[in-house]
Chains A and B, each alone.
Chain A
């Protein structure tokens, strides 16, 4: 493990650099928006990866509820945190893209509003994890994650009916996408997915170490109450 991580890190960095080059130089320039449209290659994969991670969080939480496996709890924590990071990127690049294209920083349209609400849901999940007393955190968090995942379709339906201003999604339905752009999008998605995997792995290792240290402290204070932790 010690060897593979740095190797994968270097490979991922190279992949990301290649994806960066593809996005900025190889992808064709969009007709109406110009070069600003290239934000698309960072904005969309962030959202997709965020949702992928939340999906894994849902699976890990269900697994924890059934099996009470501590590793599943750690996977849930890690995927939620990294998912929030990716969604944050999406929510920051969105307005930066919107401003030159539509003239406004923010609008309560379907896509942006849904993403914001989901971001709020998973941030509140992270707050629960931080504030709850450590004995019960895994179970409570798992229950909350299930509720959160169930909320997702409702968030989409309610906001879809609430408003629509975002242009037709370029992927799957609505406007068609230039296949060269699709190609670059896929490359960036794959590169960032590898990156997300490595970040999750690193965060998982950190959590593992943290829990080992906490356990060691706890054991020590049990053995010798006079020792201050």
Chain B
């Protein structure tokens, strides 16, 4: 097995194992999502028809906020234990670390989405009129977009003042195209229309931004 994939695998498994033991991230994310859903329920009291129009936006806002919770703690452990300094000194490729972090976050947020979806369906009486399998695809592509950008911006924000606010401040505008695509695709599928354009846009966005983040991560990690 080549060194880069080995490092990715090791880092990813370490993160998953640590998370499984403490369940810090997943618990706070879950609870936060639940709170967001309930607060939305206070503001909207939609009929099933209205639900289908607005649910796309509500769902993705809740997942976006939850993702920010996960992303903010991405590098926290590494900073506490001076792991990043060790990484900079070692010959290990920075990309492996980046991919491991992105995959870890992707898994965390996807687990959260899987757990929250039944709740959303229940609270808003949702029923997809369109092809439901496309929803899974939109969720995967959309989550990847948020997580790849978010992990990159989290690394950028490490040594900034107001670190926690810097991440969403950067993430929201830069992810706008992906956010529009996710929300519109979800709404379209719920209402029985196809979402081909949005899925292709999301896939292209993911491809371009993953590549560029991979290329630039080493620079960002070693900046100073």
Contacts and interface: CB of A to CB of B under 8 A. Distances in A.
Given A139-B219, A140-B223, A151 B212 contact: no
Contacts of B204: 154
A72 to B, nearest CB: 15
A224 interface: no
Interface stretch (A1-9, A73-81, A125-133, A171-179): A125-133
Contacts of B169: 124, 127
Interface in B158-182: 159-162, 166, 169-170, 172-174, 176-178, 180-181
B177 A158 contact: yes
Contacts of A150: 208-209, 212
B107 interface: no
Interface string A130-146: 01110110011001101
A117 interface: yes
A139 B158 CA distance: 14
B162 A131 contact: yes
A158 B223 contact: no
A1 to B, nearest CB: 32
Given A117-B173, A150-B209, A155-B177, A143 B159 contact: no
Main secondary structure of the interface of B (DSSP, over half): helix
A124 B176 contact: no
- Category for how many chain B residues contact A: 20 to 34
Interface string B9-27: 0000000000000000000
Contact of A121 (B159, B173, B208): B173
B156 A144 contact: yes
Contacts, number: 91
B201 interface: yes
A133 B219 contact: no
B224 A128 contact: no
A158 B184 CA distance: 10
B177 A157 contact: yes
B224 A135 contact: yes
B144 interface: no
A135 B159 CA distance: 10
A13 interface: no
Contacts of B128: none
Nearest to B220: A143
A56 interface: no
B159 A117 contact: no
Task: Specify which of B162, B170, B197, B198 lies most central, judged by the most chain A CB atoms within 10 Å of its CB.
Answer: B170
Contacts of A151: 174, 176-177
Contacts of B198: 161
A127 B166 contact: yes
B38 interface: no
Contacts of B149: 147
Contact of B166 (A123, A131, A154, A161): A131
A65 interface: yes
A136 B176 contact: no
Nearest to A136: B223
Contacts of B178: 154, 158
A206 interface: no
Given A155-B176, A161-B201, 16 more contacts: A121-B173, A124-B169, A127-B166, A128-B156, A128-B170, A133-B224, A135-B224, A139-B223, A146-B212, A147-B213, A150-B208, A154-B177, A154-B178, A158-B178, A159-B180, A161-B197
7 contacts: A120-B176, A121-B173, A121-B174, A132-B156, A154-B201, A155-B177, A158-B180
Interface of A: 65, 117, 120-121, 123-124, 127-128, 131-133, 135-136, 139-140, 143-144, 146-148, 150-151, 154-155, 157-159, 161-162
Interface of B: 149, 152, 156, 159-162, 166, 169-170, 172-174, 176-178, 180-181, 184, 197-198, 201, 204-205, 208-209, 212-213, 216, 219-220, 223-224
